Amino acid sequence: MRALAVAIGLLAFAAAADAKPKKPTASKPTRRVAKSDKADKADKADRADRADRADKVARSEKTDRRAKKTSGKKGKRTAHAGRDTRFEFPRGPIHGQSVGAPWAGRLRDATELPEGEGYVIRRRWRAFGTKSMVEAVYHVVGRVREQFPDMHVLAIGDMSAEHGGRITEHASHQSGRDVDIGLVYYKKPAGYPDSFIVATEQNLDCEATYALVEEFAKTGRIQMMFLDFRVQGLLYDWAKENDVDEDHLAKLFQFPHGRGSSEGLVRHEPNHQDHIHVRFSCPSGDNTCR
């Protein structure tokens, strides 16, 4: 009986254990969260990539529209187009005084134009040039005064600074080869020679001014002279009326061939109706002169 009772007790305990609720199994949320973060990162990267591509397309289209808008338009014109105004001091030994070009150059061992009879130097600190030019200016003025002893004094305008280089009011006058010379008038105008005076048919002494141009040309050292086209015409007409050879005048003046013509030693240049700009050629032996 006791054995039967024990057996029944064991069966009852086993049944009770089976009826007891089971402990819930722990979930694994960390794995699901990790998968969600990875998906979010991929999604964000994809959106950023799409936004970047859209931005590049928008910039490209904007550039294309701008290019189409500006295509066919002419570029902005600049003074001295195609002319290099930078100056680089040359390497190696330098022989001579004028270095570089009149619009991009320097002056070495400058020669100063001295005070003299018959002319007034307007700005002494700009009265420097090559020895060849200074000598020519001095002697040309002297020869013209010999022909016209009653002529008023001449205004000598800017040449170059003592060491060359840029000076105000000029694009050139940098290498000691440029000089501005006032014109000759029947009567010395008010304000002259401190200022240049515009030439007219009424005030310009064509005979003496023509002689000034002619004497500079005779030096054989002139590269070019610049003078207003209309003023050239006054000198040309006077010379023709006074039996100066027309072939000679054709070599001397651009007039009457037109402002754009390459004829003549004297060429038109704006703002030169009150003086002559004389440019000398490179002196012999100046190996860096341009």
pLDDT in tens, 230-239: 999 999 999 9
In whole angstroms, give the CA distance from residue 228 to residue 254: 10
In whole angstroms, give the CA distance from residue 165 to residue 176: 9
- Mean pLDDT within 129-138: 98
pLDDT of residue 44: 59
pLDDT of residue 93: 82
φ and ψ of 279, to 5 deg: -115, 125
In whole angstroms, give the CA distance from residue 86 to residue 77: 18
Percent of the chain with pLDDT over 70: 69
Q: What b/e string do you get for 157-176 counting C-beta neighbours within 10 Å, with b at 16 or more?
A: bbbbbeebbebeebebbbbb
Element (DSSP H or E) covering residue 225: strand 222-226
CB 132 within 8 A of CB 283: yes
Residues in Cβ contact with 216 at an 8 Å cutoff, skipping those fewer than 6 apart: 136, 140, 222, 225, 276, 278
- Whether 82 shows a pLDDT value over 60: the answer reads no
- Whether 283 shows a pLDDT value over 80: the answer reads yes
Which DSSP string corresponds to 103-157?
TEEEESS-EEPPP-TTEEES-GGG-EE-HHHHHHHHHHHHHHHHH-TTPPPEEE-
- Whether 64 shows a pLDDT value over 50: the answer reads no
Which DSSP string corresponds to 28-48?
-HHHHHHHHHHHHHHHHHHHH
Element (DSSP H or E) covering residue 224: strand 222-226
CB 201 within 8 A of CB 166: no
Which residue would you say has higher pLDDT here, 18 or 131? 131
- Whether 28 shows a pLDDT value over 60: the answer reads no
Assign 3-class secondary structure to 145-170.
Answer: HHHCCCCCCEEECCCECCCCCCCCCC
pLDDT of residue 51: 58
φ and ψ of 37, to 5 deg: -60, -45
Closest-CA residue to 113 (of 102, 98, 128, 96): 128
**Average pLDDT value for the chain:** 81
In whole angstroms, give the CA distance from residue 185 to residue 153: 10
- Whether 72 shows a pLDDT value over 50: the answer reads no
- Mean pLDDT within 113-126: 96
pLDDT of residue 10: 45
Distance of CA 244 to the CA centre of its chain: 41
pLDDT of residue 77: 33
CATH topology of domain 98-227+265-280: Muramoyl-pentapeptide Carboxypeptidase; domain 2 (3.30.1380)
- Mean pLDDT within 262-274: 97
Does a cis peptide bond (omega within 30 degrees of 0) precede residue 189?
Answer: no
pLDDT 10s digits, 153-182: 999 999 999 999 999 999 999 999 999 999
pLDDT 10s digits, 187-227: 999 999 999 999 999 999 999 999 999 999 999 999 999 99
pTM of the model: 0.71
**Which one-letter amino acid corresponds to residue 84?**
D
